[in-house]
Amino acid sequence: MTNVTSTPTTGSDRDRLTLELDEAREQLDATNEILAAIGRSASDVDAVLGAVVESARRLCKTDAALINLLEGDTFRVAAAAGVSPVYLDYMANHPIMADRASMVGRVTLDRRAQQIRDVLTDPGYGRPDVQRVGGFRTLLGVPMLIEDEVIGVLLMWRNEIGPFTDHAIELVTTFAAQAAIAIRNADLVHALQIRTSELADKVEQLEALHEIGQAVSSSLDLDEVLTKIVSHAVQLTDTDGGSLLELDLAAREFKIRAAYGTSPALLDSLHQAHIALDSTLVGRACLEAQPQMVYDLETAKLDPHLSRLKEDGWRSVLAVPMQHEGTIVGALVVRRRSPGNFSDDVSGLLQTFASQSALAIVNARLYRELEQKSRELQVASRHKSEFLASMSHELRTPLNAVIGFSEVLLQRMFGDLNERQEDYLRDILSSGRHLLDLLNDILDLSKVEAGRMQFDRSQFDVLTVLQSSLAQVRGAAQSRSIALSLDLSPDVGEIETDELRFKQVVLNLLSNAVKFTTEGGAVDVRASLDGEGLRVSVSDNGIGIALEDRERIFDSFERAGRARNQTEGTGLGLTLSRRIVERLGGRMWLESEVGIGSTFGFVIPLGVRWETQPSGAVETGPVVVIVEDDHHSIELLSLYLESAGVRPVVAHDGASGLAAVRHLNPSAMILDIRLPGMDGWGVLRELKSDPVTASVPVVVITMLDERPQAMSLGAAEYLIKPVGREAVVDALGRVGALPSMPLSDVVANQGEL
């Protein structure tokens, strides 16, 4: 057996080791417990401190353990174990100071752990009162440090004398450190929470401002916007009520525009108050461009505004000015029912709201002005139309006599004329006709601008119209040696549009070109087809039109400097021509180079073979296609349909009618039988044989008495002319072509076709 040299383990050693192990285990458990408490709730510092003192007391087998936290100059007991409520109560009223009279004070000052073996024999101990209430003899204090700052002391005591071992001190030091960490964490969490809540406030403010910003820009209901601003201002500044006062600069008085948290009685009272700019708190805020506050209305100097607030029980007031670009717009006021100051934050926030409010008010004022101006313009425009209409009428009547009698005489109805008489009569007649042209242009322009010009579609040959237009200006061209030429591309044949209006436009451009081309010049007319439609241009080699005049020349009575000295022409022709082209679905343009010449061109779309009635009285509602070639009937039927809330679409022949039905899917077709080209029977047959259009009900309105044939071909209704409004509307009602909500009769006319 090998003699093993070893240190024999005595029983007492084993006991000590076992003890140390147990202690270490217990300490570990305690630490874990504290860490768990920290982990559970970093913000609940009381729970952590409670766990610390409980564990420290248990592990060190002391009678009491306390955490004293330094708050200002004194200590507060933040957690305690093994201490009577009487002691805690006493300490709350007689706190320990950070001086050498107490254990806690000494530890704080020395920033290190220390103990007093027996307080009763310690000469420096200066709080016998505390000792009597606590009943302790031996004290151990350990500092709680955060970054070398003492924030508190972990105090342990024994009621019997029993000094703490180094081991115990070390243990308590560990606990103190953990308590300090817990407090620091809690502080951090608290700071974080404050920051989070500040951020939340900021977000709330930004959201409110955003909402207000949107309201300011999108809503023109000023009261709604301002009320929103006041309510947000009150809520975000955490006050009890508020109001917004608008300044009437002329009267130098404020008027309440919006309020929140304000009783109807107070609002009424404020409305009646004379809140002058020069003698009130809100006025001072505006005049000095500085927020003004009243700490307590009970003791403040009052004005008519403030006294009414005071009567209603308000105590403190903050008023900020609302300005926009240096102009006082009004003031924003928030108030509380308790006295107190308003922080800079609140004041700053309110000023932000005030500037938003100012903007809203300024916007609304601008809008009001704009609205007023546009109303005035509308009135002026109506007056202009009425004036033009009555002037035209008044001038036409005497012109009738001037032109008529001149013609009578020139016709030699009542005897012969000598040469001079005939010459003068021709002058009278041509002047009269010129005046009439002018009137007609004015009248046409008024009509087209009011959307009341009638357009009659027909099929015609472009070449014929262009040649006849050229013939009309040939005389004027020859007298000034101007060459006329026509260049028609071969694919231009017949088109369908309003022939008279088309010719009116061409003639206007042509006569302008001849008029403004220098002697010996040339005027070229070109016509071609392209994807957009029929393109017609009239070029001259006149003086041209400067860039700045090119748009103006289309305005009424403008001749853009090129012919102000010329007397002929109404100055309305181009305006009228452009409007007509636009009404025909096309556009007009001008290309010009000063000194080289000008080209006026227009394009009108082709292939449109039906039209909505120009009155446009009914904008929505079911569509009914009228296939009818007689203008009289078309107009009456259109009126009947519009009066019943139906949109009439007119096709002047059968093929166009079928095309319109295929494109528009109308709720019914009104069909005449006698039509150019394909007659009504053909239309009916084709419509009913095409599955796409077969379901469209057809109301035949004709002079023929052929009901059986119409019914056998699939007509839904058959009416014989003359036919009144009621019969037409009733028939449309029976085939389900009327709007579900019947309109009141726009036209009560019961005339017959």
Partner 1 sequence: VSDVTILVVEDNDKNLKLIRDVLQFAGYAVVSAGSGEEGVELALERPPDLVLMDLQLPGIGGAEALRRLRDSSRTRLIPVVAVTAFAMRDDREDAMEAGFDGYLSKPISVTSLPAQVRGFLQAGVNGSD
CA 530 to chain centre: 42
What's phi and psi for 84, nearest 5 deg?
A: -75, 150
- Give how far Cα 452 sits from Cα of 294, 388, 444, 549, 645, Å: 66, 15, 9, 29, 19
* Minimum distance of partner 1 from residue 268's CB (angstroms): 51
CB of 7 or CB of 750, closer to partner 1 = 750
703 contacts partner 1 (rule: CB under 8 A): yes
The tally of CA atoms less than 13 A away on the side-chain side of residue 245 is 33
The residue within the footprint of partner 1, chosen from 320, 403, 470, 668 (CB under 8 A), is 403
Decide if residue 90 touches partner 1 (CB under 8 A). no
- For position 368 contacting partner 1 by CB under 8 A, the verdict is no
Work out which of 190, 426, 452, 663 binds partner 1, going by CB under 8 A. Answer: 452
Q: From CA 93, how far away is CA 573, in angstroms rounded?
A: 103
Residue 180 binding partner 1, by CB under 8 A: no
Task: Please name every residue paired with 540 in a beta bridge, in sequence order, or none if there are none.
Answer: 523, 598
Task: Please identify, among the stretches 194-202, 440-448, 464-472, 693-701, the one whose residues bind partner 1 according to the rule CB under 8 A.
Answer: 440-448
Q: Which is nearer to partner 1, 228 or 725 (CB)?
A: 725
Interaction of residue 385 with partner 1, rule CB under 8 A: yes
Residue number, 2 or 411, with CB nearest to partner 1: 411
* Region near partner 1 per CB under 8 A, out of 82-90, 215-223, 384-392, 643-651: 384-392
**From the CB of 404, what's the least distance to partner 1, in Å?**
4
The site string for partner 1 over 706-745 (x = CB under 8 A, - otherwise) reads: ---------------xx-----------------------
Q: Which two tokens stand for residue 666?
A: 């109308």
Distance of CA 12 to the CA centre of its chain: 89
- Quick one: which of 654, 586, 591 has its CA closest to 625? 654
Contacts of 247 (CB under 8 A, 6+ apart): 253, 254, 277, 286, 328, 329, 330, 331
CB nearer partner 1, residue 94 or residue 412: 412
Sheet holding 253-260, edge to edge: 275-276, 253-260, 241-248, 327-336, 316-324, 292-294
Rule CB under 8 A: choose which of 128, 616, 733, 751 binds partner 1: 751
Please give the DSSP secondary-structure letter assigned to residue 547: G
557 binds partner 1 (CB under 8 A): no
Task: State the minimum distance, in angstroms, from the CB of residue 453 to partner 1.
Answer: 9
- Pick the stretch among 169-177, 406-414, 551-559, 688-696 that binds partner 1 (CB under 8 A): 406-414
The burial class, CB within 10 Å (0-12 / 13-18 / 19+), for 533 is: buried
Task: Please identify which residue in 167, 383, 393, 552 interacts with partner 1, judged by CB under 8 A.
Answer: 393
The answer to whether residue 430 forms part of the interface with partner 1 (CB under 8 A) is no
Report if residue 398 touches partner 1, rule: CB under 8 A.
yes
Listed residue (234, 187, 176, 135) closest to 53, CA to CA:
176
Q: Which long-range contacts (CB under 8 A, 24 or more apart) does 68-77 make?
A: 68/96, 68/104, 68/152, 68/153, 68/155, 69/144, 69/151, 69/152, 69/183, 70/98, 70/108, 70/150, 70/151, 70/152, 70/153, 73/97, 73/98, 74/98, 75/104, 75/152, 75/153
If binding is defined by CB under 8 A, does position 417 make contact with partner 1?
A: no
Torsional class of 16: left (φ above 0), alpha (ψ -120 to 50), beta (otherwise) = alpha
Among 166, 414, 475, 595, which residue interacts with partner 1 (rule: CB under 8 A)? 414
Alpha-carbon gap, residue 667 to 734, rounded angstroms: 12
- Which one, 133 or 723, has the nearer CB to partner 1? 723
What is the full DSSP assignment across 555-606? STT--TTTSTT---S-S-HHHHHHHHHHHTT-EEEEEEETTTEEEEEEEE--
501 binds partner 1 (CB under 8 A): no
Q: Rule CB under 8 A: is residue 408 a binding residue for partner 1? A: yes
Residue 392 engages partner 1 in binding (rule: CB under 8 A): yes
Cα 470 from Cα 486, distance rounded (Å): 9
Contact between 450 and partner 1 per CB under 8 A? yes
Q: Which is nearer to partner 1, 181 or 395 (CB)?
A: 395
What string marks each residue from 574 to 613 as x (binds partner 1 by CB under 8 A) or -?
----------------------------------------
Residue of the chain from 388, 500, 546, 659 that contacts partner 1 (CB under 8 A): 388
Nearest C-alpha neighbor of 616 from the set 635, 640, 636, 642: 642
Min. distance of Cβ 446 from partner 1 in angstroms?
A: 6
Q: Choose between 240 and 672: whose C-beta lies nearer to partner 1.
A: 672
> Footprint of partner 1 on residues 623-662 (CB under 8 A)?
630, 632-633, 635-636, 639
Instruction: Find, among 659, 598, 669, the residue nearest to 628 by Cα.
Output: 669
- Nearer Cβ to partner 1 (174/643): 643
The reply to whether 448 sits near partner 1 by the rule CB under 8 A is: no
- Residue 73 corresponds to which tokens in the numbers above? 């100059």
Among 121, 279, 454, 518, binds partner 1 (CB under 8 A): 454
Closest CB 232 distance from partner 1, rounded Å = 53
DSSP 208-257: HHHHHHHHHHH---HHHHHHHHHHHHHHHTT-SEEEEEEEETTTTEEEEE
407 forms part of the interface with partner 1 (CB under 8 A): yes
Q: Find out whether the peptide bond into 85 is cis, omega within 30 degrees of 0.
A: no
Q: Which residues bind partner 1 (CB under 8 A)?
A: 385-386, 388-393, 396-401, 403-405, 407-408, 411, 413-414, 436, 443, 446-447, 450, 452, 454, 630, 632-633, 635-636, 639, 703, 721-722, 749, 751-753
